[in-house]
Amino acid sequence: EVYLVESGGGLAQPGVSLRLSCAASGFTFSNFAMSWVRQAPGKGLEWVSGVGPSGATTYYADAVKGRFTISRDNSKNTLHLQINSLRTEDTAIYYCARVISYHSDFWGQGTLVTVSS
Amino acid sequence: DIQMTQSPSSLSASIGDRVTITCRASQSISNSLNWYQQRPGKAPDLLIYFASTLQDGVPSRFSGSGSGTDFTLTINGLQREDFATYYCQQSYTTLVYTFGQGTKVEMK
């Protein structure tokens, strides 16, 4: 069975950095693209970033380009999202999701990031 | 960037009703359109991909149609567990898969 478990969220001050992780199991991680999607409190889903199966290709929403870095460690079946210069508008639940044939078929339960002074 | 616009943003319906949600892309996306359901406090669940292909395990009362810029999600015979928020998503641009703003289906 496919499992995706996010971690690394919490309360952080504006301006600091945070690294989110997503541990994958139950499938051959290196065969799939992966993505991060976030959801601010009471708001809709926002696509944040995607990475190809090898990690060589990365993609970002315009809203986060330059501050967010997606990466993966296929030897550890783990996906990461580095968030620099945190802003209050980054407050959200961050979900990782597996991408197959242009859609996301499995999602983690999310990790909450709260940015506040 | 491709913008996705859903309508309505919310609707009220009763058990057994037929519900239709529309999604419009700012440019043609062929059939690169997915639909997700999200219940409160839960992660999204994939319902339909490639505009009309039902994900394994999704009840047949859900259906999708459309191509190009205009798409529709239909629920035939609304059930209690279908009261949720629905999102369309374009997957035309490589790994930048933008969502619509969501449609909340509430009980009348």
pLDDT of residue B40: 94
Q: Angle at the Cα of A93 (from A25 to B27), degrees rounded to 5?
A: 95
Using an 8 Å CB-CB cutoff, list residues of chain A that contact chain B.
33, 35, 37, 44-47, 50-52, 57, 59-62, 95, 99, 101-105, 107-110
Q: Which of A95, A103, A112 to mutate to test the interface with B (most CBs of B within 10 A)?
A: A103
Looking at residue B51, its amino acid is A
pLDDT of residue B81: 96
Nearest by CB: A50 against B1, B96, B102: B96
Closest CA to A46 of B3, B58, B32: B3
Mean pLDDT over all residues of chain A? 97
Percentage of chain A modeled with pLDDT above 70: 100
Q: What is the DSSP letter of B91?
A: -
Percentage of chain B modeled with pLDDT above 90: 95
pLDDT of residue A101: 86
SS3 A30: helix
- For residue B26, pLDDT over 90 is answered with yes
Rounded to an integer, what distance in angstroms lies between the CA atom of residue A61 and that of residue A68? Answer: 9
Nearest by CB: B99 against A44, A62, A110: A44
Q: Angle at the Cα of A48 (from B106 to A23), degrees rounded to 5?
A: 95
Choose between B1 and B74: higher pLDDT.
B74
- For residue B19, pLDDT over 90 is answered with yes
- For residue B101, pLDDT over 90 is answered with yes
- For residue B95, pLDDT over 90 is answered with no
Q: Could you tell me how many residues make up chain B?
A: 108
- For residue A33, pLDDT over 90 is answered with yes
pLDDT of residue B82: 97
Residues in chain B within 8 Å Cβ distance of A35: 95, 97
B65 confidence band (pLDDT: 50, 70, 90):
very high
Helix (H) or strand (E) holding B51: none
Rounded to an integer, what distance in angstroms lies between the CA atom of residue B81 and that of residue B62? Answer: 12
Q: What is the mean pLDDT of residues A26-38?
A: 97
Choose between A101 and B61: higher pLDDT.
B61
A6 confidence band (pLDDT: 50, 70, 90):
very high
Closest CA to B100 of B31, B8, B4, B32: B4
Percentage of chain A modeled with pLDDT above 90: 99
pLDDT of residue B1: 85
Burial class (CB in 10 A: 0-12, 13-18, 19+), B13: middle
pLDDT of residue B70: 98
A63-108 residue pLDDT tens: 999 999 999 999 999 999 999 999 999 999 999 999 998 999 999 9
Cα B73 to chain center, whole Å?
A: 5
